[in-house]
Structure 1
Amino acid sequence: MQSVKPILSAVLLALGVTAISTTAVHAKAIETQRHNIELEVVTEGLEYPWGMDFLPDGSVLITEKTGAVVHYHFDKNEKHTLSGVPEVVYAGQGGLLDIVVDPNFAENQWVYLSYAEADPAGGDGQSTAVTRARLDGHKLVDQELIFRVAPKFNSRFHFGSRLVFSPEGHLFITTGDRYHHMDDAQTLDNHDGKIVRIWPDGSVPEDNPFVDQAGAMPEIWSYGHRNVQGAAIHPLTGKLWAAEHGPKGGDEINIAEAANNYGWPVATFGIDYDDSIISDKTYVEGTVLPHYYWVPSIAISNMIFYTGDAFPEWKNDLFVAALRGSQVARLDLDGDRVMHEETLLQDDTKARLRDIAQGPDGFIYLLSDDKNGALLRIKPAE
């Protein structure tokens, strides 16, 4: 693979340091194993962007971790900040996090936001919450809180927070173990270290796996997770795949099935940040081994299955963005089997890639996690 450092020196090297034109900057071709691509800056000036989703008209909504939603219009190269965003706790890893557009947006105008929410009872804790609101011009109106992680802890870490709709219309919400309470990922009396499954109005599906189990949170779909910040639906099977931060080593891709226990923290391929042992086991009976994992960690963020036409040789491949190494991992799949991994865009620019999405044009979009973050685009080389 050709080094991208010469290319990105024009478009990414100065992210967070000096300004780059907000018009798209074309780069030289980057050779990959399947396609020659270009990477360009679409717009910058985004303050720690975290999540994005596209609207039916082709524009995109982008969350800024500090608490704003930016509406970017490609045709006009204009950004508008929405009013009516719920109040968030911006501290540590918390803030305004993911955003997803309702599959029936054209009829109902709903968008969904995940964020770190303060304790409404006035305590000093916080946890992940999800609110939906209708998009009216550049305003969010008719807010409804549809989910709140319980309990609330005074911890600024591991909020999870990725949102994805299933083909059947369920909303999956990923959470984290809150770091200081990692053992809670193994019990069902809380939402921490779980993937939850609800209907878009916040109601609980009757076929959730623990809905009739005494003492269990009925929203839980799967458990034993550390900090799930990526989620995508497989385009052929309809199953939920989840990308999970490991500690020092042990980033995981899991196929999240109902009622499964994915092992954290009793089984892990990673060690703690001070090199101490979290568990001496990589597998414990009753848990599920990761479908794919990285040692050392690449600090995975979100992921997508590519389904567009712009890159035909990448059809149905899994693309995983990473916060370390300014890289995207392309996993070549045969059904569910990972046959090969290719590293894309690895360089020395320190651009942390927080989100990845497929646009309606079939191009791949990335968000760089920085005080002067950018919306980036991967397109076929001319």
Structure 2
Amino acid sequence: MRQPWSGRTKLHRIHAACVPLAAVLAGGLLLMPIEPANAAETRQFATQKGTIVVETLTTGLEHPWAVEALPDGALIVTERPGRLRILRDGKLSAPISDVPEVAAHGQGGLLDVALDPQFATNRTLYLTFAARGEGGYGTVVARAVLSEDEERLTNVEEIFRMNRFTRAGQHFGSRIAFDRDGSLFFGIGDRGDDERAQDPRDHAGSILHINTDGSIPASNPYRGDTGGRAETWSIGHRNPQGIAFDPVEGTLLTVEHGARGGDEVNNPLPGRNYGWPVITYGRDYSGAEIGEGSAKEGLEQPLYYWDPSIAPGAIAVYRGKMFPEWDGDLLVAALKYQLLARMDRDESGAIIAEERLFDGEFGRLRDVVVAPDGALLMVTDEDNGAVLRVSKAPTQ
């Protein structure tokens, strides 16, 4: 069993309304862009730990949701309406054929793409997406092989389908993270029906854990237990759209949307209940209180929360070589304030500070991943969406 951080119940937050302007400026929460010669393609930003460069690799994508780096340096990108494309040398491919049928319904559509840890030899990838089925719509995970010419998917196989579809158009989740043993973790939101998140026999509002063929790992808490679904790892999640493992510590981390306030970073442990909607640091969009407050015995506290919400879309743990000063930091892409949150952690793993990058500069940031060279890759969830690369500015 994974061990929690020693600081896992220590709570920190930054409330934008309570931070004096002088402190914000001194702390570097607001970044002033340094205009380069060609601002249309490349821009520089001063941060607390040095100057960084943001390069626009491409535009013209329709609500891109996820990006991954291929072994040869090209990128593979999903578009929510159901397209999967390759970006190589600044050029976007035509849509890859034979992608599973996607239901572009509300917040749903083609969501994450994740490369198998052995992709370089087996060319296998995994997709999460909203599908139509009995009762309405729900989240599905599929496995496929990318053809050598990169024009189509082959051997497409559905390996997971959530157990209750509804007509709701929100809170599908869902990103994928691979554990060290190659198994898959992913999250599904409560599908707009908050009570579903408290039922371990319902996939909604949960973190799920399966093997690459859809079978059930031996470590799952409800395997062989009729009190919960065998795939379920943890419950009480509102809409977890970001998930990642710390490649050094092996710790599982998620980030999820709250309501009006209460976005959370969590370290999901097997069989634990993370509270939604019984406890939360947010309120309903009407302003009404939700549940029974912010704490209750037997329910887990977040590692960190935001109030007001930033609408987090993805999380990554930085362990790259390009920014050694960021080693171990968490990176959270956010939609509402169109920013990237860089979060410092202390030796116990507790989050102790937050720096906000690119606030409003590029649009709604949906994904962030660490590329093999240590740069960051991001996508903007817009009608004319972009792929961005963040790197260290050259030294003079």
> TM-score if structure 1 supplies the norm length?
0.91
How far apart are 1:376 and its partner, in Å?
Answer: 0.7
* Runs of 4 or more above 2 Å deviation: 1-8, 76-80
What residue is the counterpart of 1:92 in the other structure? Answer: 106
Q: Which residue of 2 is the match for residue 153 of structure 1?
A: 166
Question: 3-state SS of the aligned residue for 2:42?
Answer: coil
| Farther off after superposition, 357-366 or 259-268 | 357-366
Following the alignment from structure 2 to structure 1, what is the Cα–Cα distance between the partners of residues 199 and 168?
19
- Tell me the amino acid that sits aligned with residue 26 of structure 1: T
SS in 2 for 1:81: coil
CA displacement 1:129-166 (0-9 Å, x = unmatched) = 01110000221011110000111111100001111101
1:92-131 matched pairs, under 5 angstroms: 92-119=106-133, 123-131=134-142
Aligned runs of 1:144-293 on 2, under 5 Å?
144-179=157-192, 181-293=193-305
Following superposition, the deviation at residue 224 of structure 1 comes to 0.5
Give the direction of change, closer, same or farther, for the CA distance of 1:124–1:6 in structure 2 (3 Å limit).
farther
Give the conservation status (yes or no) of the 8 Å contact 2:280–2:294.
yes
2:78 aligns with one of 63, 79, 85: 63
Equivalent in the alignment of 1:15: none
Deviations 1:177-236 (A, max 9, x none): 001x21111111110000000001100112210112114210000110000000110122
Q: CA deviation at 1:78?
A: 4.1
Separation in 2 of the partners of 1:272 and 1:217?
Answer: 29
State the alpha-carbon separation in 2 of the partners of residues 78 and 115 from structure 1: 21
Match of 1:371 in 2: 383
Contact 2:265 2:305 in 1 (8 A): yes
Paired AA for residue 300 in structure 1: P
Shift of the alpha carbon at 1:324? 1.6
Contact 2:266 2:303 in 1 (8 A): yes
Supply the distance in 2 between the matched residues of 1:124 and 1:184 (Cα, whole angstroms): 16
CA–CA distance in structure 1, aligned partners of residues 35 and 186 of structure 2: 36
In the superposition, the TM-score normalised over structure 2's length comes to 0.88
CA RMSD of aligned residues (A): 1.7
Unaligned runs of 5+ in 2: 1-27
Distance 1:91 1:78 in 2: 25
Q: Which amino acid aligns with 1:63?
A: T
CA contact (8 A) 1:235 1:316 kept: no
Structure 2 residue 380 is the aligned partner of structure 1 residue 380: no
AA in 2 matched with 1:177: D
User: What is the aligned residue count?
Assistant: 363
Whole-Å separation in 1 of the counterparts to 2:32 and 2:107: 29
Counterpart code for 1:160: G
Identity of aligned residues (%): 41
Kept in 2, the 8 Å contact 1:161–1:175? The answer is yes
Match of 2:69 among 54, 58, 67: 54
Is the contact made by 1:324 and 1:350 (CA closer than 8 Å) also made in structure 2? no
Inter-partner Cα distance in structure 2 for 1:3 and 1:106:
38
